[in-house]
Amino acid sequence: MKNYKVALLAGDGIGPEVMKEAVKVLKLVEERNADVAFELNDVLFGAAAYFETGKAFPEATKQACDEADAILKGTIGLSHEESKKIPVDEQPERGALLPLRRRYNTYANFRPVYLPKGVAHFSPLKAEVIGEGLDIMIIRELVGGLYFGEKETGVDENGKRFVREVLEYDEDQIRQIITVAFEVSQKRKKVLHNIHKSNVLKSSVLWNEIVEEVAKDFPDVEVKNILVDAAATYLCLNPAQFDVMVMENMFGDILSDQGGGILGSLGLMPSACKGPEKSYYEPSHGSAPDIAGKGIANPYSMIGSVALMLEMSFGMEQEAKNLWNAMQSVFAAGYSTPDLSKDGEAELITTAKFGDLVCEAL
Amino acid sequence: MKNYKVALLAGDGIGPEVMKEAVKVLKLVEERNADVAFELNDVLFGAAAYFETGKAFPEATKQACDEADAILKGTIGLSHEESKKIPVDEQPERGALLPLRRRYNTYANFRPVYLPKGVAHFSPLKAEVIGEGLDIMIIRELVGGLYFGEKETGVDENGKRFVREVLEYDEDQIRQIITVAFEVSQKRKKVLHNIHKSNVLKSSVLWNEIVEEVAKDFPDVEVKNILVDAAATYLCLNPAQFDVMVMENMFGDILSDQGGGILGSLGLMPSACKGPEKSYYEPSHGSAPDIAGKGIANPYSMIGSVALMLEMSFGMEQEAKNLWNAMQSVFAAGYSTPDLSKDGEAELITTAKFGDLVCEAL
Ligand SMILES: CC(C)[C@H](C(=O)O)[C@@H](O)C(=O)O
Ligand SMILES: CC(C)[C@H](C(=O)O)[C@@H](O)C(=O)O
């Protein structure tokens, strides 16, 4: 009997709604597997936590995460206007999400741009651009770069406001993410696109040096170096050429969201954030305050994050595969949610109903 | 009689080929306007200059640029492998392009994502996503941020290689680009999308403060704040919602190239780089070493840069408009080049022939 502790950080906006569906699925997986039990621990996180406790990442939540085998996170964040009610450093991104990433050193962020032919109609790209479907794995460094470098805001001797923030990496940080990327490439198509900006950034010069060094240990993987700006062009023009892409934190933030655009929605992009000891899982989309509480958000990306957790933290590969298939089959049967599809394009159902259908299909 | 001095920096790769077509067009415009004369001064720039003089931006070129009323630049850069033959700091980007931008403080980079319905078929996006065509003006800050901040590469006390580079802005730098963006918005649809990452970057926090301050002087312009990652999603999903977008340097590098992807090619994106006294004009695409010398590169983006120069530096708005129309009419007549179109989709012609047809249409 395996007992897995999972901390649930539902968060803000649509977070609690989609988390409910994730829990439904987890309970079903537990029911089906006599030798597995999930101990779920619901805790406060994000703006919700701030308004209740004065801290976006309260002590009790830290403890629950410390004790957990894996962490399942919903979404955090408020609207541009609402977030002004919280001091800058307690805002959910700076006060909760980034500290979570740092606490567990989740340096490897996996963002699949996975668009099987059957759901290719969601994409804004022409059918001939997508071809046989997309299956890209974006691997983003998640605990370095501009996100965690020193920051200084001030007023200079002439009374002028200024700001300085540091993009920093050392060779170990780069090597660990690059190694992960090569390992993943080796299990897939053996082509690794290395995204960089070495014609301007010195950090990319070091990054590329390490890529060349690590490449020696993976002679069967072909490395293709591509500038980040060119990568943004080609993700639109010819995404099917990519298999695994690796890049630093900020580039990964932007290009993975471009990937979400290509899928037709960030609602179709789950993600895994892997640390040396513990990993956490989250949808790539935001908290969508404009549609929160309406029951129209698609839980695909949240349930997909459960699938990634089952596979990567608990070694339940078959259950993960079944879950992906169940989700695809709901779309294939003609169902969708109002955030993804218009009336007439699909039978529109609620967040909860989508979760129910995934459970039925399982 | 107006006499305009134009420095021509053809550069590397396909630069010289497309520059030839720009010169053809300029000579025709001169012929047609009895009161205008262009004094063209061809000078070395980029890797070509480095191999000939040991400097990517030689003194003679600096002088020619100093004396010019406007600068027309082709493309610079070598392939990833070739560029290793040049010391990092003399590589054409760091040794020529960035110094050019800094020398003339060309802080405002204009990159039109302009896709009239007639050429919408070039786009990888579905016709219904493009709708009535796209007409977005991306305004990118061009002389600040990570591009020009201090950089440090070294080895720490434990023998570990590291790199640090600084993203910096002061309020004046931000205010000048934001003001340009508001001015442009005011002449267009009066909606300005402000692209930022204030949930992580302190530079975006200051940036957004200045946007709020400058906004007070433009009460008729509506500001929409959007995170850079969300902007990357929406540029794919619903680009037609954007009119003017303003952003810092690195964000602009990535999103404008995504814009090129949406157009179907960076070959369709000219650009203007405006400084307080002097501006320079360049295609947004790279030097495309793989197709250089073959005569298959489309000169649209280079000739479009001439149009921007005529309008913005010489006040020849009507001539600029005629030039845009002439280029569109060549496409409309069914012609294209092999870098943009496949056989069967259009009548494929050479770079030179495309330039000839534009001249005929003029
Ligand atoms: C919410 C924000 C801090 C976060 C990031 O920038 O990493 C998000 O955009 C993401 O991609 O996970
Ligand atoms: C060549 C390179 C330095 C340049 C940049 O990054 O600005 C280019 O990509 C551009 O967008 O003009």
- pLDDT tens readout for residues B20-53: 999 999 999 999 999 999 999 999 999 999 999 9
Using DSSP's 3-state secondary structure scheme, residue A177 falls into helix
Residue B220 has pLDDT above 90, yes or no: yes
| pLDDT number for residue A41 | 97
Between the alpha carbon of residue B325 and those of residues A125, A287, B296, the distances in Å are 28, 44, 22
Cα A199 to averaged position of ligand 2 atoms, centre (Å): 8
Same domain, A291 and A166: no
Residue located nearest, by CA, to atom 5 of ligand 1: A253
The radius of gyration of chain A from alpha carbons, rounded to an integer in Å, stands at: 20
Of B203, B233, B268, the position where a domain reaches its end is: B268
CA of B225 to the centre of ligand 1 (A): 16
Do B301 and B257 sit in the same domain of this protein?
Answer: no
CA–centroid distance for B361 within its chain: 25
Question: What is the full DSSP assignment across B126-150?
Answer: -HHHHTTEEEEEEEEE-SSGGGTS-
Q: Is A357 on the interface with B (CB under 8 A)?
A: no
Bridge pairing between strands A279-283 and A244-247:
unpaired
What pLDDT was estimated at residue B82? 86
Measure A83 CA to ligand 2 centroid, in angstroms.
34
Average pLDDT rounded to a whole number, residues B60-71: 98
What is the average pLDDT across B95-112? 97
Which residues have C-beta within 8 Å of that of residue B8, sequence separation ≥ 6?
B19, B22, B23, B40, B41, B42, B43, B72, B74
For ligand 1, atom 9, the nearest C-alpha belongs to A253
Pairs of residues, one from chain A and one from chain B, whose beta carbons lie less than 8 Å apart: 187
Residues A113 and A88 in one domain: no
pLDDT at A47 over 90: yes
Q: What is the pLDDT of residue A212?
A: 98
The CATH number assigned to the domain holding B91 equals: 3.40.718.10
Residues of A within 8 A of B164 (CB-CB) are 149, 166-168
Is the CB of residue A171 below 6 angstroms from any atom belonging to ligand 2?
no
* Alpha carbon of A45 to ligand 2 centroid (Å): 40
Helix (H), strand (E), coil (C) string for A63-85 = HHHHHCCEEEEEECCCCCCHHHH
Residue A4 predicted with pLDDT over 90:
yes
Query: Residue of the nearest CA to atom 9 in ligand 2?
Result: B253
Q: What are the pLDDT digits (tens) for A253-264? A: 999 999 999 999
A276-334 per-position pLDDT tens digit? 999 999 999 989 999 999 999 999 999 999 999 999 999 999 999 999 999 999 999 99
Average pLDDT of the residues in A134-158: 97
Is there a catalytic annotation at residue B243? no
- Contact assignment for B172 to A160 by CB distance below 8 Å: yes
Q: Which of B89, B90, B84, B92 is nearest to B13 (CA)?
A: B92
Judge if B142 and B252 occupy the same domain: yes
Regarding whether A300 and A162 lie in a shared domain, the answer is no
Q: Is the Cβ pair B286, A230 closer than 8 Å?
A: yes
CA distance A254 to chain B (A): 5
Neighbouring CB atoms inside 10 A of A138's CB total 28
**pLDDT above 90 coverage of chain B, percent:** 92
pLDDT at position B118 is 79
Token pair listed for B300: 């649209």
Closest CA to B294 of B48, B10, B12, B17: B17
Mean pLDDT, chain B, integer = 96
CA distances from B308 to B14, B141, B263, B283 (A): 20, 18, 18, 11
> Which residues on B lie below 8 Å from A149 (Cβ)?
164
- Nearest-atom index, ligand 2, CA of B101: 7
Domain identity same for A191 and A211 = yes
The per-residue pLDDT for range B141-182, each reduced to its tens digit, is 999 999 999 999 999 999 999 999 999 999 999 999 999 999
Residue-level pLDDT at A80: 78
**Residues B192-202: tens digit of each pLDDT:** 999 999 999 99
A343 secondary structure, DSSP code: B
Asked if A216 contacts A210 with a C-beta cutoff of 8 angstroms, the reply is: no
Contacting B residues, span 125-144, partner chain A, CB-CB under 8 Å:
125-126, 129
Which atom of ligand 2 approaches the CA of B253 most closely? 11
Q: Are residues A138 and A252 in the same domain?
A: yes
User: Is A261 in CB contact (< 8 Å) with chain B?
Assistant: yes
User: Which residue is listed with tokens 């995404």?
Assistant: A239
To test ligand 2's pocket by mutation, which of B83, B93, B148, B248 has the most ligand atoms within 8 angstroms of CB? B93
Helices (H), chain A: 15-32, 47-53, 59-67, 92, 98-103, 127-130, 171-187, 202-215, 228-237, 249-263, 300-312, 317-332, 351-361
Spatial CA neighbour of A74 closest among A352, A296, A280? A280
Contacts 24+ apart (CB under 8 A), A214-217: A214/A175, A214/A178, A214/A179, A214/A182, A215/A182, A217/A182
Q: Which residue has the least CA distance to atom 2 on ligand 2? A: B93
Q: Looking at chain B from residue 48 to 87, which residues have their Cβ under 8 Å from any Cβ of chain A?
A: 77, 80, 83
Output B341-349 pairs: Cβ under 8 A, ≥24 positions apart. Answer: B341/B122, B345/B121
Percent of chain B predicted with pLDDT > 70: 100
Please provide the size of chain B in residues. Answer: 362
Indicate the Cα dihedral angle B192, B198, B199, B202, nearest 10°: 180
Restricting to A residues 262-321, those with a Cβ less than 8 Å away from any Cβ of B are: 262, 264-266, 286
The residue from A224, A243, A269 where one domain ends is: A269
pLDDT of residue B252: 98
Say whether both A75 and A15 belong to one domain. Answer: yes
What pLDDT, on a 0 to 100 scale, did the predictor assign at position B117? 84
What is the residue-averaged pLDDT of chain A? Answer: 96
Give the confidence band of A343 by pLDDT, cuts at 50, 70, 90: confident
Q: What is the pLDDT of residue B184?
A: 97
Instruction: For residues A193 and A310, state if they share a domain.
Output: no
B205, pLDDT greater than 90: yes
Number of domains in chain A: 2
The C-alpha atoms of residue B149 and residue A102 are separated, in whole angstroms, by 26
Say yes or no to pLDDT of B83 above 90: no
pLDDT classification of A119: cutoffs 50, 70, 90:
confident
Distance, CA of B108 to CA of B278 (rounded, Å): 11
Of B161, B205, B229, the CB nearest to A254: B229
Read off the pLDDT of residues B242-297 as tens digits, 9 standing for 90 and up.
Answer: 999 999 999 999 999 999 999 999 999 999 999 999 999 999 998 999 999 999 99
* Average pLDDT, integer, range A179-203: 97
Decide: A186 and B222 in contact? Cβ < 8 Å. Answer: no
| pLDDT higher at B83 or A241 | A241
Cβ pair B108, B142 in contact under 8 A? yes
Domain around A224: 108-269
DSSP character string of B223-235: EEEEEHHHHHHHH
Statement to judge: residues B89 and B132 lie in one domain: no
Distance, in Å, from the CA atom of B236 to the CA atom of A124, rounded to the nearest integer, reads 7
Which atom of ligand 1 lies nearest, measured to the CA of A77?
Answer: 1
In terms of domains, do A243 and A117 share one?
yes
d(CA A91, CA A71): 20
Residues β-bridged to residue B166: A166
Residues of B within 8 A of A170 (CB-CB) are: 156, 160-163
Amino acid B343: pLDDT:
87
CB–CB contact B235 A261 (8 Å): yes
Any idea of the CA torsion for B354, B19, B124, B243, to the nearest 10 degrees? -110
Burial grade of B131 (CB within 10 A; 0-12, 13-18, 19 or more): middle
Task: Determine whether the interchain pair B163/A265 forms a contact, defined as Cβ–Cβ distance below 8 Å.
Answer: no
Whether the per-residue pLDDT at A82 is higher than 90: the answer is no
Classify residue B277 by its DSSP letter.
S
Whether residue B254 sits in one domain with residue B124: yes
Q: How far apart are CA A151 and CA A165, in angstroms?
A: 4
- E-state strands within chain B: 2-11, 36-42, 70-75, 108-116, 133-141, 151-155, 161-170, 191-196, 222-227, 244-247, 270-274, 279-283, 335-336, 347-348
Angle, vertex CA A201, rays to CA B60 and CA A100, nearest 5:
160
| Percentage, residues of chain A above pLDDT 70 | 100
Helix and strand totals (H; E) in chain A = 13, 14
Single residue among A241, A269, A297 that ends a domain in this structure? A269
A97 lines ligand 1 (CB under 6 A): yes
Query: Given ligand 2 and candidates B78, B83, B97, which is best to mutate, with the most ligand atoms within 8 Å of its CB?
Result: B97
